[in-house]
Amino acid sequence: MKNIILLAFSVLLFACSSTRTGPSPREEKRNWITAYKNTAFIGCLKAHDSTIMKQDVSESLNTDLLGDYSMIRQADSLGRAYYQKIKPSPILDLQQKKLVIDQALEFYTSKSLDSIARVQFSTFQKNMKNAY
């Protein structure tokens, strides 16, 4: 009888310890980095047209995933600064208009933004550890 109780307790303990209620640390990092990059991308688009997000809730989702308003402001500012670097097209048929979406997507997929997002995730984690 004692062995059965011990076995049942061990099985229960093992079952409870292996149950995850949220994303793995790796998924959490990937989701955070994606939200940071999304926020920078949206910042770039909003710098071109401030009304672009009127009917879109993407910013709310990214805000929830990032969870730190200083990081949100930083990513948004990064995107807005990138927009300022976009030059009008030299192709005459395009009448000096900017290739905003193409350039914003290039920025989104750049190694530079990936690197910045990874560094900011590390900073975010350190800040969260220090907060508790």
H, E, C per residue of the chain: CHHHHHHHHHHHHHHHHCCCCCCCHHHHHHHHHHHHHHHHHHHHHHHHCCCCCCCCCHHHHHHHHHCCHHHHHHHHHHHHHHHHHCCECCCHHHCCCECHHHHHHHHHCCHHHHHHHHHHHHHHHHHHHHHC
Q: What value does the mean pLDDT take over residues 73-89?
A: 94
pLDDT, tens digit (0-9, with 9 covering 90-100), for 1-35: 555 554 444 545 555 555 557 889 899 999 999 99
Q: What value does the mean pLDDT take over residues 41-67?
A: 91
* Of 38-47, 92-101, 114-123, minimum mean pLDDT range: 92-101
Q: What is the pLDDT of residue 89?
A: 83
